[in-house]
Amino acid sequence: MKTALIFPPQWFPSQPYLALPTLAGYLKSHGHEVDQYDFNIEGYETFLSRSYLEECVEIIRERLSRPAYTPEENQVKNVYRDILSDPDYLESIYSGVEEAKEVLRTEELFFQFPVYKRAYTTLKIAMKLISFAHFPSQVDLESFFMPGNPEENLNGILGATADPVANPYLRLFEDHLLPRVDWNEYGVVGISIIHVGQVIAGLSLARLLRKQHPHLHIVIGGSVFTRHIDILDDKQILFDEFFHSIILFEGELPLRRLLEQLQSGGSLSEVPNLIHLQDGKVVHNPKAESLPYDQLARPDFDDMPLEKYLMPYPVLPYMASRGCYWGKCTFCTHSHIYDSFYRKENEARVAEDIDYLGKRHNTKYFTFSDEAISPNAFKRMAAAILKNNVDMRALGMLKFEADTVETEDLFREICRAGFIMLFYGLESANDRVLSIIDKGCDQKTEHRVLTNSARAGIWNHLYLFFGFPTEELAEAEETIRFTVENSERGSGIVHSVGQSTFSLEKDSAIFHNPKKFSIDRIVQDPERDMAIVFDFDIQKGMTRDEVMDVYEQFDAVLDDCFPSRKIWKYLSREHFLLYLDRFGREEILRMAQDEALTEAVEA
């Protein structure tokens, strides 16, 4: 029995996501026939085409002829008239979109920043045109949003997955992607949903396949439905109309067992980590421990259409560990999919895998998807990569540890091995906030580690957020001050930053113990029973308006503090990895200060 694994939209178009290649590699190593379909990149290939955009304009024309029933519909009709009144503008999008894709896939054009920026702008405009055709939904180069967040409740899912106006994926799947596959070849279809922006697309796909090809067993996996483990018992209709089963946590062993049971005609009750329908009731099978790393397989990218990603050459994801070796940050849920079970690969095998994958797919570029690589693992990994002369350029995530561990010598070794960009979860630079987050570090440690890394020649990128429960305005301003003082205009040890506001997520330590963090009430809205992010009431710390004011205050100073932002704000992390390797830190800064290079029109 052959299996099809599918990664649905909407995700980034710059590289394959790791879930399918990881599962495929494991299943193939156990003798199963598996094909991988990245419907995310195939969707972009269809969306970003003249023929599809022309279809969108016809939809806009048809919607303009209908009556408007809301002020929002009246407002968007003015936009529709503007779009249809300028055929030259439409032609520029039609003719420019194929060229823009080619720019991102062609080495000599990709690295000409004005050309790159025009191409990026063209693609953003094209995605806006698609959004207008499916108003009020919004589809972009990395996300999908429907007003009301229908993925957060059962009725919303039932409606959105059958809505041909606001759901662009129904037409995409029915008219373009599903007809390309002979579904009679398969007995099982696995759909990986790892982000809330994929829920409507992924479940639309499952519903269509369930209806059109009733012989298929459709199984859902990924972190989103793992986090729904406790709210599925009264949602039998999902198992009746969308899928037959759900795999929780890591998928290798459960999916293998599922295939074996289906092939032999055995009982689904024998499959670990499986939720399924039995006699009209939702049944949760017993859990199994995650497999040790030596029983996993190297990811298999052979089925992935690497030439279609919007990159001049492949950038492959890789994971050297699962879970987080620290695992204490009170806001974090990243280890939940791994059942909070941390283990790592043998570093010598990591070097072998990277060498093999790089040579097989003609690339040296990798993104390590580990939640955080420990300093000791980094040291051994770098040594193995250097010993085996592996040609690699990569980015990875690192947690702040004592500078006696994360030394300048360690960072120089890491950089020599090919890790030229590191991502740090700073979150805050205030010691009190860091302590209640349980980051295991303080501001002085952050500063010393960033100094060591920068001196070694590595690009340091910070993640931070404002509005952690009880955070005061002065504490948020301390984080801003730390970042500004160490920016490119300051000490130069921070090179880029991504900021956000705090979100209270299901399954975090804060969610399970809100009183400890002075949260008075988590808002449990029955109309959002499938939500992952929750509103909450709190009296201490900044108000929501103050949090947004701080966020906007920080955003306003970024361009002044980080001149290179004129470059990196247009680039996905994978694109920037290539730019960093091609030009280096100093040249990127010089490019950013050259107005002739940065004057392309913004989207």
Distance CA 231, CA 151 (A): 14
Residue holding tokens 């997520």? 505
- pLDDT tens digits, residue range 252-263? 999 999 999 999
Query: What is the average pLDDT across 171-177?
Result: 98
* Strands 2-7 vs 321-322: parallel, antiparallel or unpaired: unpaired
Residue holding tokens 């048809």? 62
Residue 432 has pLDDT above 50, yes or no: yes
Residue 36 and residue 53 in one domain: no
Q: What is the CATH number of the domain that holds 342?
A: 3.80.30.20
Closest among 471, 480, 494, 487 to 555, alpha carbons compared: 480
**Does residue 580 lie in a domain region?**
yes
Q: How large a percentage of the chain has pLDDT more than 90?
A: 93
DSSP at 173: I
**Residues of 292-320 as b/e, b for ≥16 C-beta within 10 angstroms?**
ebeebbbbbbebbebebbbbbbbbbbbbb
CA dihedral 523, 527, 533, 534 (to 10 degrees): -10
Domain that holds residue 588: 313-596
**Does residue 116 lie in a domain region?**
yes
**Does residue 435 lie in a domain region?**
yes
The pLDDT confidence band at residue 596, using thresholds 50, 70 and 90, is confident
Q: Report the domain count for the chain.
A: 3
Distance CA 589, CA 568 (A): 10
- Model pTM? 0.96
- pLDDT tens digits, residue range 460-498? 999 999 999 999 999 999 999 999 999 999 999 999 999
**Does residue 511 lie in a domain region?**
yes
**Does residue 291 lie in a domain region?**
no
- Final residue of a structural domain among 104, 134, 150: 150
Query: What is the average pLDDT across 108-112?
Result: 97
Dmax (CA) of the chain:
69
Closest among 217, 209, 214 to 245, alpha carbons compared: 217
**Does residue 304 lie in a domain region?**
no
Distance CA 191, CA 246 (A): 10
In Å, what is the CA distance from 96 to each residue of 41, 101, 188, 286? 19, 9, 39, 53
Residue 143 and residue 169 in one domain: no
Residue 109 and residue 169 in one domain: no
Contact 157, 207 (CB under 8 A): no
Residue 20 and residue 119 in one domain: no
Residues 6+ apart with CB under 8 A from 587: none
Closest among 513, 496, 510 to 572, alpha carbons compared: 496
Residue 119 and residue 166 in one domain: no
Residue 389 and residue 472 in one domain: yes
Residue 23 and residue 64 in one domain: no
* Segments in 337-374 forming alpha helices (H): 347-360
Residue 54 and residue 41 in one domain: no
The pLDDT confidence band at residue 330, using thresholds 50, 70 and 90, is very high
Residues 6+ apart with CB under 8 A from 132: 56, 60, 76, 79, 80, 83
**Does residue 509 lie in a domain region?**
yes
**What was the pLDDT predicted at 340?**
60
- Final residue of a structural domain among 245, 266, 284: 284
**Does residue 297 lie in a domain region?**
no
**What was the pLDDT predicted at 445?**
98
Residue 97 and residue 201 in one domain: no
Higher-confidence residue: 293 or 256?
Answer: 256
Distance CA 99, CA 92 (A): 11
Question: Sign (positive/negative) of CA torsion 195, 197, 199, 204?
Answer: negative
Q: What is the CATH number of the domain that holds 235?
A: 3.40.50.2300
Strands (E), 130-169: 138-139, 144-145
Residue 28 and residue 112 in one domain: no
Query: What is the average pLDDT across 272-289?
Result: 96
**What was the pLDDT predicted at 603?**
42
The pLDDT confidence band at residue 394, using thresholds 50, 70 and 90, is very high
**What was the pLDDT predicted at 602?**
46
Bridge partners of residue 461, in order along the sequence: 423, 496
**What was the pLDDT predicted at 584?**
97
Both structure tokens of 387: 């010993």
- Final residue of a structural domain among 150, 184, 203: 150
**What was the pLDDT predicted at 600?**
55
Distance CA 390, CA 355 (A): 6
Query: What is the average pLDDT across 65-75?
Result: 85
Amino acid in the structure at residue 180: R
Residue 347 and residue 457 in one domain: yes
Residue 381 and residue 485 in one domain: yes
**What was the pLDDT predicted at 99?**
97
Closest among 316, 299, 300, 306 to 578, alpha carbons compared: 316
